[in-house]
Structure 1
Amino acid sequence: MMWPELVPLVPAYMDIANSRWLWLSTVPVVLVVLLQATIFLRRAWNDGKEMGLSEQKLKTGFKTGIISAIGPSIAVLAGMLALIATVGGPVAWMRLTVIGSVAFELPAAELGVSQFGYSLGDEGITETAYATAVWAMTLGGTGWLLVSAFGTRHMETVRTKISNGNETLIPIISAAAMLGAFAYFLSGEITAGTPETGSVAVGGLAMLGLLHLADSRDVQWLREWALGAAMLVGLLAGVALRVTVGSWW
């Protein structure tokens, strides 16, 4: 009896993409990120004490930050699954540890392999094409890291100059900058399709409702959980719309 030849379901380049040596090469990068996060948290805690903040307020801020990170982390985890399927586990782990933007990493990888006439997931992708994709992802994200490294320390000076020395304007400017950043990220999603629009709308309404409830009942823990909960509700709403109605535009 002749057995049919088995056709591999995984592209050949994925053997390199998930190799032991590539896993080992990504470990130092991830460790550096973890070290930076540890140093930053330690400095923030110590500086908060020097500014006169009580330990209770510091713990509340720390807990609020952890809770607020849950929503974005779920989105990054979902995107990481797609990235693992195309560029392998090690590179996906490294890239999303450093940058965390699937919206950038996937197009950058696609741009790299397209120079050799391939598309992500093609079985015939060569090692050179895969290496080019990884270089495109890495070098393409370098600009953000350089701006953060050399420009962050000057942001406070810029903010003070914008407020023209008026201390009452500084919180307003900071809030406006934060709202502008959120609006910038959402502007492209609102018109991307029905699930995206619904996700933004439901998440925004959930945030308003939770904050109103927290203010009317004076529930502190609800304020802390509001952002993370609203993001999770919006994410679930987008998934539900995608599964049920799809996209109408």
Structure 2
Amino acid sequence: MLSLASTPAYLDVANSHWLWLSTLPVVLVVLLQASIFLRRAWSDGKEMGLSEEQLRSGFKTGVISAIGPAVAVLVGMLALIATVGGPVAWMRLSVIGSVAFELPAAELGVSQFGYSLGDENISETAYATAVWTMTLGGTGWLLFSAFGTPHMEKLRQKMGNGREKLIPVISSAAMLGAFAYFLTGEVAAGTPETGSVATGGIVMLILLRIADERDVQWLREWALGTAMIVGLVVGVALQVTVGSWW
């Protein structure tokens, strides 16, 4: 734990002006990629025959749906800032967005020198090792995404074996499997996590049911973000009040 009375000396390096400047280009590249993807999605949508209203509705839905995950990343960033400093936390969560990976990676780096995150006497070499561990450890899925994504559509078509009706089923099953993989780890983690997942799922089902019955488009757009935020609030409330029962 970090001491309230004093700040570890390595954080002077971790929050230096030079480190802020060195991480800025990485974040700018992420913002550039996002703007390129948005422009391509908009232009491709028009080529597919989508109207301006449909495009704006899709954009608004995407922005609203990103609120929940953004809140979770922001909370994780606060923990990361306290241990590795603002610049590195800003850069790493802009690229990867997973504090569940970044904190253990940083801990693994400093532990090679006999330290633990938050120790006041962490050396500059140990801190640099932590940053390299976080950076190099996260390159695997970035490289896989870069070189593997162009071939995913061919793989999906091959799995469908020429039967067009199977392709949506395969895509839906893959998406459900991915979400289930992440959710099972959270459900088994403790009572707050289980309550958060269950509440978010129930809220999502209720909102979508109401939206379908009353044909309320804006409710469909806000359903995912609302379910995530409610789930987070319930999880925090359970952690503060009853703690974890397993």
User: What is the TM-score when the length of structure 1 is the normalising length?
Assistant: 0.96
Question: Matches of residues 29-178 of structure 1 in structure 2 within 5 Å?
Answer: 29-178=26-175
Partner of 1:3: none
Give 2:196's aligned residue: 199
Corresponding residue number in structure 2 for 1:11? 8
- Map of 1:4 onto structure 2: none
Structure 1 unaligned blocks of 5 or more? 1-6
- SS of 1:52's equivalent? coil
Q: Trace 1:235-246 onto structure 2 (pairs within 5 A).
A: 235-246=232-243
Q: Secondary structure at the match of 2:102?
A: helix
Hey, what's the Cα distance between the residues in 1 that align with 2:52 and 2:175?
A: 26
Letter of the 1:70 partner, please give it. Answer: I
Please state how far the C-alpha of 1:168 moved relative to its aligned partner. 2.0
Deviations 1:125-160 (A, max 9, x none): 000000000000000000011011111111111111
Q: Which amino acid aligns with 1:58?
A: L
Distance 2:135 2:178 in 1: 24
Q: Greater shift after overlay, 47-56 or 75-84?
A: 47-56
Inter-partner Cα distance in structure 2 for 1:164 and 1:60: 34
Instruction: Give the CA deviation at 1:8.
Output: 5.5
Which of 231, 234, 246 is matched with 2:231 structurally?
234
Partner Cα separation in structure 2 for residue 181 and residue 233 of structure 1: 22
TM-score, L = length of structure 2? 0.97
- In the alignment of these two chains, the number of paired residues is 243
| Offset from partner CA, 1:193-217 (integer Å, 9 cap, x none) | 1100110010111111111111111
Of the candidates 197, 216, 235, which is equivalent to residue 213 of structure 2?
A: 216
| Gapped regions of structure 2 (runs ≥ 5) | none
Task: Give the deviation of 1:176 after TM superposition.
Answer: 1.4
Deviation at 1:49, TM superposition (A): 1.1
Q: Which digits, 9 at most, give the CA deviation of each residue in 1:111-130, with x for residues without a partner?
A: 00000111100001000000
Give the AA of the match of 2:115: Y
Percent of residue pairs identical: 80
Alpha-carbon distance in structure 2 between the residues aligned to 1:148 and 1:188: 23
Write the distance in 2 (CA, Å) between the matches of 1:16 and 1:237.
38
Q: In the TM superposition, what is the alpha-carbon distance from 1:104 to its structure 2 partner?
A: 0.2
Aligned-partner SS, 1:83: helix
Taking only aligned residues, the RMSD between alpha carbons, in angstroms, comes to 1.0
Q: Distance in 1 between matches of 2:6 and 2:210?
A: 51
Q: Which runs of 4+ in 1 moved over 3 A?
A: none
